[in-house]
């Protein structure tokens, strides 16, 4: 077969390979030549990519759909009660089809429709939380007028009443809690009730932040949260006394204060303020709002004392963020960190108050 010569002049030439060739000399005149053919290109089977077949009615359901079916409320059996508080009761339950253990939190109260819808929206958002240091929220149900939340079961229980006198161990606990807080804060979630009883540990020494019954999802345009929920013993001064910090409350900084109080309590083996944790409201308010923030004892390392001071600043703006605290020497040195702390890190915020000798 002779090659097709390109046309000259003002006309254009095109070739269509469909068993016969069509040559268009110009827009008004065309002719058909049955003797002109072009071979179709041969496809290399090795380069062929099959198109996905459309789903059929007999296709297997997705993993998420299977999980939703597996976690049906009717498939749960209560084993025993593992905790209770002002907001509800937590039960250890077993999922019969799989034999897996979960924690089922039953939230007290017959809430108004608007409140119930808000709670369900927040729980729905929390179902998307997925971090190794945050208790997983699997499902929620509305049963007999109550909201019931199915959570990850943590077999070691809470850290309430735990004394962690070794700084290396406490550093690892602090690192895990900070990792969970940093994850939540990136997602605009403020916990607002960080305390030892809401910090759980499993048999593999994984620490997880629990109990989002009082948490709130913060949007960029929302007003600073000023709710009175939470445990007063671990609340920051500006949250208790609205006259402090010009009446502004930063929930993210509030979580850091609560974290610092909890870590210091673990180290001391007692509530770090001069009054008891279960004291009356007025005594706690005076101790938290009017006295100097508690400090780590002189027997502790310099790193730990400074770490606590970076958390327990009366002015919220002076408290370090979770990411900054994760780079503090108390965390990096005790956890085998490969990177040295940037010398400029201490200049990101005003330095903490001088440590007493």
- The DSSP secondary structure of 221-261, one letter per residue, reads TSPPP----S-GGG--HHHH-TTGGGG---HHHHHHHHHHH
pLDDT number for residue 202: 95
Residue 10 DSSP one-character state: S
pLDDT number for residue 65: 39
Reported in sequence order, the residue ranges of 39-87 that DSSP labels E, i.e. its strands, are 76-84
Q: Which class is 73-152 in CATH?
A: alpha beta
Long-range contacts of 121-128 (CB under 8 A, 24+ apart): 122/212, 122/215, 122/216, 122/217, 123/147, 123/149, 123/212, 125/189, 125/217, 126/189, 126/212, 126/215
What 3-state class would DSSP assign to 350? coil
Task: Determine the Cα–Cα distance for residues 149 and 147; give it in Å rounded to an integer.
Answer: 7
pLDDT at residue 109 is higher than 80 = no
pLDDT number for residue 279: 72
pLDDT number for residue 40: 56
- Mean pLDDT for 20-41 is 53
User: Who's near 81: CB < 8 A, 6+ residues apart?
Assistant: 89, 90, 91, 92
Residue 158 DSSP one-character state: B
**For the chain, domain boundaries:** 73-152, 157-336
Higher pLDDT, 83 or 195: 195
- Mean pLDDT for 7-11 is 45
* Percentage of the chain modeled with pLDDT above 90: 44
pLDDT number for residue 70: 54
Long-range contacts of 32-40 (CB under 8 A, 24+ apart): 36/4, 37/1
Task: Determine the Cα–Cα distance for residues 82 and 301; give it in Å rounded to an integer.
Answer: 37
Higher pLDDT, 210 or 107: 210
pLDDT number for residue 37: 59
CA distances from 291 to 103, 271, 274 (A): 39, 15, 10
Question: Which is nearest to 136 in space by CA: 158, 148, 154?
Answer: 154
Q: pLDDT class for 349, splitting at 50, 70, 90?
A: very low
Which of these ranges, 58-72, 123-137, 145-159, 246-260, has the smallest mean pLDDT?
58-72
Higher pLDDT, 150 or 22: 150
pLDDT number for residue 221: 33
- Looking at the DSSP assignment, which residues form a beta bridge with residue 106? 89, 148
pLDDT number for residue 313: 96
Which of these ranges, 63-67, 98-102, 160-164, 166-170, has the smallest mean pLDDT?
63-67
In the block, tokens 């007290």 appear at: 108
pLDDT at residue 11 is higher than 90 = no
- Looking at the DSSP assignment, which residues form a beta bridge with residue 80? 92
Instruction: Give ∠ CA 53-54-58 in degrees, rounded to 5.
Output: 105
pLDDT at residue 34 is higher than 70 = no
CB 38 within 8 A of CB 17: yes
Q: pLDDT class for 268, splitting at 50, 70, 90?
A: very high
- Mean pLDDT for 93-114 is 85
User: Who's near 320: CB < 8 A, 6+ residues apart?
Assistant: 256, 310, 311, 328, 348, 349
pLDDT number for residue 14: 40
CB 137 within 8 A of CB 130: no
Active-site residue set:
193
Tally of CB atoms within 10 A around 182: 18
pLDDT at residue 97 is higher than 60 = yes
| CA 102 to mean position of chain CA atoms | 19
Q: How many helices (H) and strands (E) does the chain have?
A: 9, 11
pLDDT at residue 332 is higher than 50 = yes
User: Who's near 272: CB < 8 A, 6+ residues apart?
Assistant: 261, 264, 265, 294
Q: Is 136 annotated as a binding residue?
A: no
pLDDT at residue 216 is higher than 80 = no
Choose which CATH entry (1.10.510.10, 3.90.228.20, 1.20.1740.10, 3.40.50.1820) describes domain 157-336. Answer: 1.10.510.10
pLDDT number for residue 43: 53
- pLDDT tens for each residue of 293-323: 999 999 999 999 999 999 999 999 999 999 9
């Amino acid at each position: 077969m002779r090659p097709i010569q390109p046309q000259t002049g003002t006309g254009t030439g095109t070739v269509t390979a469909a068993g016969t060739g069509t040559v268009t000399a110009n827009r008004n005149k065309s002719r058909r030549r049955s003797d002109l053919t072009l071979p179709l290109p041969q496809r290399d089977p090795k380069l062929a990519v099959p198109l996905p077949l459309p789903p059929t009615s007999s296709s297997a359901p997705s993993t998420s759909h299977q999980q939703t079916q597996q976690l049906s409320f009717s498939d749960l059996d209560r084993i025993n009660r593992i905790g209770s508080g002002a907001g509800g009761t937590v039960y250890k339950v077993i999922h019969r089809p799989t034999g897996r253990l979960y924690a089922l939190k039953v939230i007290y109260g017959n809430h108004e429709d608007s409140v119930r819808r808000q709670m369900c929206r927040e729980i729905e958002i929390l179902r998307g939380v997925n971090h190794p240091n945050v208790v997983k929220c699997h499902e929620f149900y509305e049963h007999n007028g109550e909201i019931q939340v199915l959570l990850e079961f943590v077999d070691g229980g809470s850290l309430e009443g735990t004394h962690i006198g070794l700084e290396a161990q406490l550093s690892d606990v602090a690192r895990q809690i900070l990792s969970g807080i940093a994850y939540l804060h990136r997602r605009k979630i403020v916990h607002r009730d960080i305390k030892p009883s809401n910090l759980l540990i499993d048999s593999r020494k994984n620490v997880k932040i629990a109990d989002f019954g009082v948490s709130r999802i913060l949007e960029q345009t929302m007003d600073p949260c000023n709710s009175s929920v939470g445990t007063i013993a671990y609340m920051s001064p500006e949250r208790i006394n609205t006259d402090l910090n010009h009446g502004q409350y930063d929930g993210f900084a509030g979580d850091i204060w609560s974290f610092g109080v909890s870590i210091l309590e673990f180290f001391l083996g007692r509530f770090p303020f001069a009054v008891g944790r279960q004291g009356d409201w007025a005594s706690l308010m005076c101790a938290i709002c009017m006295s100097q923030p508690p400090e780590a004892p002189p027997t502790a390392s310099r790193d730990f004392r400074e770490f606590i001071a970076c958390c327990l600043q009366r002015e919220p703006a002076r408290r370090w963020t979770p990411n900054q605290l994760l780079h503090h020497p108390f965390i990096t040195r005790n956890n085998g960190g490969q990177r040295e702390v940037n010398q400029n890190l201490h200049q990101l915020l005003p330095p903490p108050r001088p440590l007493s000798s």
